[in-house]
């Protein structure tokens, strides 16, 4: 496992402007990158939870830049939501550190941040119904829409994050290096990746031709990065803002297809369960066009399905490269975890590829409505 360390959560929590007495803290959520904890305080007789996160600085090399982005983004969203009911359930709210900064750096060099805990809402690792797809896509589209007029350009917190060609080059290097001696365990996956190398250029070609514009995008729109209200099922808050930076709308929509159309977990070992379900895709398109349809251009709309194929392939080659490197990037919890993850992604990417024409035809009919 990448990090099984125990931290003194009470001491870290004491570095933030939190009232009351520390009661308890423990790991929370199922993210692959940061260390996330829920910490609970007694505030004059009421139990209040916060989210405390240690930014993974092996991956985010400049955590201060990450926090500058998040502060700008949440302030921009906050200004637009001012006065609306339950505003603090719809936008992440940073709790400042005691020195007034939006983060705290401990003696060991870790960067921590603290958010208000959004209660009565849930994130889902596996989708449980088509309405969730519609609501999630609506939320991510609205998020992009609210950031269309964000002044200035955000820091690129991970350069070339969705540059699929660079991701492919990294895979080729990982195959050549075979640092963990695992290439023999994943020959069919390596062959699949090499055979589909052309996919790495598909979105970049659209961008190079000037057909799809750079936008402020989330870049990590997996289903479990949006909170859905427990009572109404509505998408209430987009979370995990570390990668909000310049990107393509198709990256965001593509990752929704990757994570919200298949009934299988990302690490499912029974690949027969992995499939792109058309009704879920339809709900994603409807939800997304309802909030993003007004600002997307025609090429973006025409390539929504392609985004899914490319982002799923990209994620697969990232898991494969990390498997080959010896699990240095994504947290792993079982043997060959990254290889299992890679297999689901390649199965799904192939399924999307086979259904691409039908998906494109569906988008055309939905776009006209
Ligand atoms: P990672 O980058 O590791 O994926 P996230 O920021 O997505 O970290 O957080 C991990 C999980 O913690 C989320 O999937 C969600 O369930 C939960 N979470 C994060 N922020 C909040 C919040 N403000 N309120 C409630 N739950 C949260
Ligand atoms: C990571 O942080 P998390 O778990 O939401 C990764 C995404 C991948 C995803 C695959 C910063 O997302 O890019 O698509 O895992 N985040 C980063 O599940 O690399
Ligand atoms: Mg997350």
- Domains (ranges, CATH) in the chain? 4-119 (3.30.200.20), 130-368 (3.90.1200.10)
Residue 266's pLDDT is: 98
- Give the mean model confidence (pLDDT) for residues 87-114: 97
Q: Is 70 exceeded by the pLDDT of residue 340?
A: yes
Residue 4's pLDDT is: 43
- Give the mean model confidence (pLDDT) for residues 95-102: 98
- Give the mean model confidence (pLDDT) for residues 84-90: 92
CA distance 327 to 180: 9
Q: Is 70 exceeded by the pLDDT of residue 3?
A: no
- Give the mean model confidence (pLDDT) for residues 211-221: 98
What's the pLDDT tens digit per position in 295-337? Answer: 999 999 999 999 999 999 999 999 999 999 999 999 999 999 9
**Nearest atom, ligand 2, residue 266 CA:** 18
Share of the chain above pLDDT 90, in %: 95
**Is the CB of residue 247 less than 8 Å from the CB of residue 161?**
yes
Q: Is 90 exceeded by the pLDDT of residue 369?
A: no
Identify the weakest region by mean pLDDT among 1-10, 16-25, 257-266.
1-10
Ligand 2 in reach of 31 Cβ (< 6 A): yes
What's the pLDDT tens digit per position in 159-181? Answer: 999 999 999 999 999 999 999 99
Sign of the alpha-carbon torsion through 108, 109, 110, 115: positive
Give residue 33 CA to ligand 2 midpoint distance, Å. Answer: 7
- Give the mean model confidence (pLDDT) for residues 264-289: 98
Residue 92's pLDDT is: 97
Give residue 166 CA to ligand 2 midpoint distance, Å. Answer: 17
Q: Is 90 exceeded by the pLDDT of residue 56?
A: yes
Q: Is 70 exceeded by the pLDDT of residue 2?
A: no
Ligand 1 in reach of 33 Cβ (< 6 A): yes
Return all residues near 320 (Cβ < 8 A) that are at least 6 apart: 171, 174, 186, 189, 190, 193, 338, 339, 342
For residue 368, name the pLDDT band (cuts at 50, 70, 90): confident
**Is the CB of residue 132 less than 8 Å from the CB of residue 224?**
no
- Is residue 359 within a helix (H) or strand (E), and if so which, with residue range? helix 337-368
For residue 1, name the pLDDT band (cuts at 50, 70, 90): very low
Ligand 1 in reach of 240 Cβ (< 6 A): yes
Residue 117's pLDDT is: 98
Residue 5's pLDDT is: 67
What per-residue string of b and e applies to 331-357 under the rule 16 or more CB within 10 Å gives b? bbeeebbbbbbbbbbbbbbbbbbebee
Query: What mean pLDDT is reported for the chain?
Result: 97
Q: Is 57 helix (H, G, I), strand (E, B) or coil?
A: coil
Ligand 1 in reach of 221 Cβ (< 6 A): no
Share of the chain above pLDDT 70, in %: 99
CA distance 100 to 307: 40
Give residue 240 CA to ligand 1 midpoint distance, Å. Answer: 6
Ligand 2 in reach of 220 Cβ (< 6 A): yes
């Amino acid at each position: 496992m990448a990090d099984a360390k125990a931290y003194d959560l009470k001491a870290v929590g004491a570095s933030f402007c939190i009232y009351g007495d520390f009661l308890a803290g423990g790991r929370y959520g199922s993210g692959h990158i940061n260390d996330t904890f829920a910490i609970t305080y007694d505030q004059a007789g009421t139990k209040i939870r916060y989210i405390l996160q240690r930014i993974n600085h092996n991956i985010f090399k400049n955590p201060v830049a990450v926090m500058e982005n998040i502060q700008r983004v949440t302030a921009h969203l906050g200004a637009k939501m001012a006065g609306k009911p339950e505003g603090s359930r719809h936008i992440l709210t940073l709790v400042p550190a005691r020195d007034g900064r939006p983060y705290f750096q401990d003696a060991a060099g870790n960067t921590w941040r603290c958010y208000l805990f959004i209660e009565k809402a849930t994130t889902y690792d596996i989708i449980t119904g088509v309405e969730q797809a519609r609501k999630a896509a609506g939320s991510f589209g609205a998020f992009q829409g609210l950031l269309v007029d964000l002044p200035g350009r955000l820091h690129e917190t991970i350069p070339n994050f969705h540059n699929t060609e660079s991701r492919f080059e990294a895979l080729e290097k990982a195959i050549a290096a075979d640092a963990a001696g695992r290439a023999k365990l994943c020959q069919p996956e390596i062959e699949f990746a090499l055979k589909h190398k052309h996919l790495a250029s598909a979105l970049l070609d659209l961008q190079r031709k000037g057909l799809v514009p750079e936008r402020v995008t989330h870049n990590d729109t997996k289903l479990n990065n949006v909170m859905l209200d427990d009572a109404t099922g509505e998408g209430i808050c987009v979370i995990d803002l570390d990668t909000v930076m310049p990107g393509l709308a198709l990256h965001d929509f593509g990752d929704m297809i990757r994570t919200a159309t298949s009934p299988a977990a990302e690490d499912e070992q029974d690949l027969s369960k992995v499939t792109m379900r058309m009704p879920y895709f339809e709900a994603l398109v409807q939800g997304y066009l309802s909030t993003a349809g007004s600002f997307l251009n025609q090429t973006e709309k025409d390539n929504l399905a392609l985004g899914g194929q490319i982002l799923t392939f990209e994620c697969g080659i990232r898991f494969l490269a990390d498997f080959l490197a010896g699990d240095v990037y994504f947290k792993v919890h079982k043997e060959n975890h990254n290889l299992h993850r890679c297999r689901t992604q390649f199965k799904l990417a192939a399924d999307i590829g086979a259904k691409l024409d039908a998906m494109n035809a569906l988008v055309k009919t939905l776009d006209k409505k």
